[in-house]
Amino acid sequence: MIAALDTSSTRPYLIRALYEWCTDNALTPYVVVVVNEQVLVPREFVKDGEIVLNISFDATSALQLGNEFIEFKARFGGVPRDIVVPISQVAAIFAKENGQGMAFPRPAAQGDKKTLTAAPVAGLNRNSENTQVVLPEGKPVQLSRVTSERSPDETGDEPDPSRPTSAGVRPFLKRVK
């Protein structure tokens, strides 16, 4: 049996699953990336240390959603660019049309690459009800928090809905018009 510390990160698998869900449902997948020296993106499009990237089939060429990096070619202002994003720098993936997706723990300070902080994407925290992410074309997407009424119990099975749960709030991205 493999110890929990020896297992790989679930982040690349979740990103691939949500990307596939978006494409299967004719939605446009976007990722929010926390930019540091390891991220290869056009710096002129970085705002507040983040960049929002359209990773749809129509917007990219040679897209590779690997376990360590997301790599593709894309045009920015008509100029083709190579994009390389370490998976650890992806703060969220969501569908442009409805805002549904997943936020991940944000990377820690630049010097400490292994530690993650608990603050989720775009300032969304336990005390905030919602916040906005602005897409590259200037269109704002409202992110909001909802509560979970059910959560898996210790066995991994769905709990009895008649029993009260001790689960807290589970964040998800939702577009609010």
Per-residue pLDDT tens over the stretch 41-70: 999 999 999 999 999 999 999 999 999 999
- What pLDDT is attached to residue 64? 97
Q: Is the pLDDT of residue 142 over 80?
A: no
Asked whether the whole model's pTM tops 0.75, one would answer: no
pLDDT band of residue 113 (cuts 50, 70, 90) is very low
Q: DSSP secondary structure string, 61-118?
A: EEEEE-SSEEEEEEEETTEEEEEEEEGGGEEEEEETTT--EEE-PPB--TT-SS-B-S
Q: How many CB atoms lie within 10 A of CB 144?
A: 16
* Euclidean distance between CA atoms 70 and 50, whole angstroms: 16
- What pLDDT is attached to residue 112? 43
CATH match for 4-171 among 2.30.30.220, 3.20.20.150, 2.60.40.2580, 3.90.470.20: 2.30.30.220
pLDDT band of residue 155 (cuts 50, 70, 90) is very low
- What pLDDT is attached to residue 107? 78
**DSSP label of 7:** S
Domain ranges (residues) in the chain: 4-171
- The burial of 14, by beta-carbon neighbours within 10 Å (0-12 exposed, 13-18 middle, 19 or more buried), is given as middle
* Euclidean distance between CA atoms 164 and 74, whole angstroms: 48
Task: Put the strands of the sheet holding 169-171 in their side by side order.
Answer: 130-134, 140-147, 169-171
* Euclidean distance between CA atoms 65 and 80, whole angstroms: 19
What is the total residue count of the chain? 177
Q: Is the pLDDT of residue 14 over 60?
A: yes
